[in-house]
Structure 1
Amino acid sequence: MTDLDLLTRTLARSVKHWRAVRGFTLDVLAARAGVSRGMLIQIEQARTNPSIGTVVKIGDALGVSVTTLLDYAQGPKVRVVPAEQAVRLWHTDAGSYNRLLAGTEAPGPLEMWDWRLMPGERSPSDPHPAGTVELVHVTAGELTLTVDGTEHRVPSGASAALEADTPHVYGNDGEVPMEMVMAVSVPPVR
């Protein structure tokens, strides 16, 4: 796949994702961005490579940056944040601290879950509504996160963010219990 193909597919996925998160129809986004509905359809189907001006208009209308729309380094569905990349925002000499483990742009209801999976166990999940995102932080063991058939290893101390509108499975392929904290953000019904 060429860089241009990757960029075109990334833009298609991002525009569809953020349009769903914002609850915009094609017509609403077209009106807000000043871009034709036909152009948006071509972009969402990865059939065109729009000008940067068009991408800026769409990003502005969705309330996200061009970087967010074109960030193909994250991959199509999952971004794993290694433990050493967590950002320590505050600390004291006595040893207190907080760390930003992982984040994502998402409005609507937010749930936090505590999970424990014993060795060899799996928990499959059907796709959630479009725009649903999940954040997981593994506190013990190793999570095998399978999204759209692709496995991602998330070791203890690491975090991951995923778009949860596709089939996904939480698994423990290790020999010790896996424990994680999970936050789920579902877009509001509009």
Structure 2
Amino acid sequence: MSDLEELTQALARNLKRWRTERGFTLEGLAARSGVSRGMIIQIEQARTNPSVGTTVKLADALGVSITTLLDHDHTPQVRVVLPGQGVRMWSSRAGSDASMLLGDDRRGPVEMWTYRLEPGDGTASDPHPAGTFEMLHVTEGELTLEVDGERYAVPAGGAVSFEANLPHAYRNEGPGPMEMTMAVSIPPVRSSGA
């Protein structure tokens, strides 16, 4: 089985498990996430490989990390992620990419990512649920962070944190690559019986 097939199967299994565990009907999860009922059915039946945006919407609606939805192993107490073993979640033609390194749902979802943005490249994110918090540490180059239309320059060695319930974007406006590590804390979801 290829890595993509393994991820598709894991997503199908985990989405259904978490939807059931949270007490959400297909319609309830569709309304909560903004993902159509038909798409959720296709994902749960492993008939499609959804976009990162769709996966993020479902994870946010369920109150779990993307890592939890894509986890094909049950996470042990200690998990070591070796270089190159993160799950690539986004890439651009320019060579930029983002990989999910770790995630944990024990005290509310927490995720750790690495980003590499080539000069002139960037990516935007829709607002996350209220209470979502991001922390970024720039290890190379300079990050231009936009949060709700405001721009912030973060140089190599610098860090920034912000409430991520507003539109935000990461850009590299410098002459060389920009690399950063990002931690995302998502508030736990309580079932509303939907």
Q: Name the larger-Rg structure.
A: 1
TM-score range, shorter chain: 0.3 to 0.5
Scaled by the length of structure 2, what TM-score is found?
0.43
Scaled by the length of structure 1, what TM-score is found?
0.44
